[in-house]
Structure 1
Amino acid sequence: MTGRDGGADLRPEGNTPVVILVRPQLAENVGTTARAMANGGLFHLRLVAPRDGWPQERAWRSASGADRILDAAAVFDTVDAAVADLHRVFATCPRPRHIVKPVLTARGAAAEMREISTRPLRFGVLFGPERAGLDNEDMARADALIRYPLNPDFMSLNLSQAVMIMAYEWWMAADGTPPRELMTNETHVATKGELENFLGHLVRELDECGFLRNEQKRPGMVRNLRHFFERGEVTEQELRTLHGVVTELAHGRGARRGKRDA
């Protein structure tokens, strides 16, 4: 069941964490885990004693193209064997009890793993079975625990969801995407010169139609219009549209005046 054609061409970049699923119960969850891993740039999957054996065709059907992660998945009988070649191991857990270990959030763990990745060290994250999670013996193999700070009244996660959170934080720890940006497509954010040109056009027509006839209030009204257009990232295309609106309104006013004069 390896070497399938047609899957996404996923190649590991740099030193990335190994995802270790301990005693996974459903093949579909293994497949969706591979999909979540690919989303976050994680490519190394290990399975410890999968309940129904391995490989399982249902996993590939659930992977949405992340086939090569499943093709390369390694299977181990025990957690000890799965982590034997690693230097650092993290373990996810919902409520650590009677354990003295560092407990990190997913974001904190991702930051720590990014630092580890800069050194010639191999590292991985243990995820427990769907029904009960990792037991104390599993967590004893870890250097640190990861606990997601979710709604304390409802912290139930599907296996692939748990992996997705970790994969997302791993990716975001090195991602340079700005937290906010304006999508302008074929246009661009208007320059101050373009904006001033439009405001001049608008104010001239407002003077012409008498809207700004109150000389005492005129400076404040013009200032308010300027504030309205200056506080957002108006695009050049939007300004061209507004130029057209103002021009058409002015033409319409001229046509009505001509009819009255006639």
Structure 2
Amino acid sequence: MPGSGTDSTKPWTAGGPLVILVEPQLGENIGSAARAMGNFGLSRLRIVNPREGWPSEKARVFSAGADRILGEAQLYDDLRAALHDVNYAFAATARERGMAKPVLGADGAAAETRSRLAGGEEVALVFGRERTGLYTEEVSLCDAILTLPVNPAFASLNLATCVAVAAYEWSKAESCGALPFAPPDRSPLADKGDLFAFFSHLEGALETAGFFRSPEKAPSTIRNLRNIFHRLGLTRQDLATLHGAVTALEEGREGREARKVENNTRAAARKARPASGSDEAG
């Protein structure tokens, strides 16, 4: 199911840390988590004892095209087995567990993950059940805690949302914050000569149109107009467009006046034309 931002012609970004979902309850959340992983360049998914079984059609539908992540997902009976080849694991939790473990936000966890992966270690991000999260025993199997600065009165995040936040920070760290595209190159900034020529064009057109009704206020009105355009940082292309707009208004007015004169001339000619037929008796 391709989305508006899907482009199958571009290479699929893959790699990063493992994502482990522990006993996810809904296939919809597994699929949404896989979609978030695909969005931000994570591709390796491990699932521990999914409640609705596996494979899951609901997961496939909600993955919105991230089928390859689901197709390559590995299943495990418990978290210990899923962590068998992992060197360093983050336990995602919103609750303080009273454990002497490093506590990092998603950005800090992303930076630590990059460093460890670069050193040849295997790293995992571990997420718990939708309703209860990770059990304390499961947190104890991990090396550090990943948590987010959420509203303390409403700290429970949707599973896929939590994965998306962590994956986003990973992607941002991996790309050094580079955005996928930049604004198009602008036309060169207009120089003062170009700007003054436009002022002359605009002010002349306004004068002809009777805009400056009060001769006393005209100088201050002109200054205000000029200041408006000075603040905009106009480019040469901007000025060309503005010149064209003013010219169109001028030509439109002249055309209306010409049509008015033509219509009046025709009306006068019709009025002066003698009536058809003859008034003389035969």
TM-score range (shorter-chain normalised) is 0.7 to 0.9
Secondary structure at 2:25's aligned position in 1?
Answer: coil
TM-score, structure 1 as length reference: 0.77
| Percent identity of paired positions between Structure 1 and Structure 2 | 42
Tell me how many residue pairs correspond in the alignment. Answer: 247
Distance verdict in 2 for CA 1:246–1:12, change over 3 Å: closer
Judged with a 3 Å threshold, the aligned counterparts in structure 2 of structure 1 residues 123 and 12 are, in CA distance, closer, same or farther, namely farther
Instruction: State the Cα distance separating 1:113 from its structure 2 match.
Output: 2.0
The answer to whether the 8 A contact 2:188-2:235 is kept is yes
Residues 221 and 49 of structure 1: CA distance in aligned 2, closer, same or farther (over 3 Å): same
Distance 1:255 1:72, change over 3 A: closer
1:192 partnered with 2:194: no
| Correspondence for 2:178 | 176
Q: Give the secondary structure class of the aligned counterpart of 1:192.
A: coil
- Does the aligned pair in 2 maintain the 1:10–1:43 contact within 8 Å? no
User: Which stretches in structure 2 are left out of the alignment for 5+ residues?
Assistant: 1-7, 262-282
Distance in 2 between residues matched to 1:118 and 1:222, nearest whole Å: 63
Which residue type is aligned with residue 201 of structure 1? H
**Structure 1 residues 110 and 227, CA, compared in 2 at 3 Å: closer, same or farther?**
farther
Change (3 A) 1:112 1:206: farther
Tell me which residue corresponds to 1:125: 125
CA distance in structure 1 between the partners assigned to 2:136 and 2:205 by the alignment: 76
1:109 equivalent in structure 2 = 109
Amino acid corresponding to residue 22 of structure 2 in structure 1: V
Going from structure 1 to structure 2, the CA distance change for 1:243 and 1:147 (only over 3 Å counts) comes to: same
Secondary structure of the equivalent of 1:20? strand
SS of match in other structure, 1:42: coil
Query: CA offsets per residue over residues 43-80 of structure 1, 9 Å max, x none?
Result: 00001122233222322122111111011001112212
C-alpha distance in structure 1 between counterparts of 2:196 and 2:102, whole Å: 57
Write the distance in 1 (CA, Å) between the matches of 2:109 and 2:48: 22
Q: How far did 1:144 drift?
A: 1.4
Q: Distance in 1 between matches of 2:88 and 2:167?
A: 17
Amino acid at match of 2:166: M
User: How far apart in 2 are the matches of 1:224 and 1:29?
Assistant: 57
In the superposition, the TM-score normalised over structure 2's length comes to 0.72
Aligned-CA RMSD value: 3.4
Structure with the greater alpha carbon radius of gyration: 2
In the alignment, structure 1 residue 19 sits paired with structure 2 residue 19: yes
In the alignment, what sits opposite 1:64? 64
Aligned to 1:5: none
Change in CA separation of 1:103 and 1:221 when aligned onto 2, cut-off 3 Å? farther
Which one-letter code corresponds to 1:176 in the other structure? A
On the 8 A contact 2:189/2:233 being kept in 1, the answer is: no
Tell me whether 141-150 or 234-243 shows the greater mean CA deviation: 234-243
Identify which range, 230-239 or 53-62, moves more after superposition. Answer: 230-239
Q: The residue matched to 2:41 in structure 1 has which SS?
A: coil
Instruction: Give 1:196 shift.
Output: 5.5
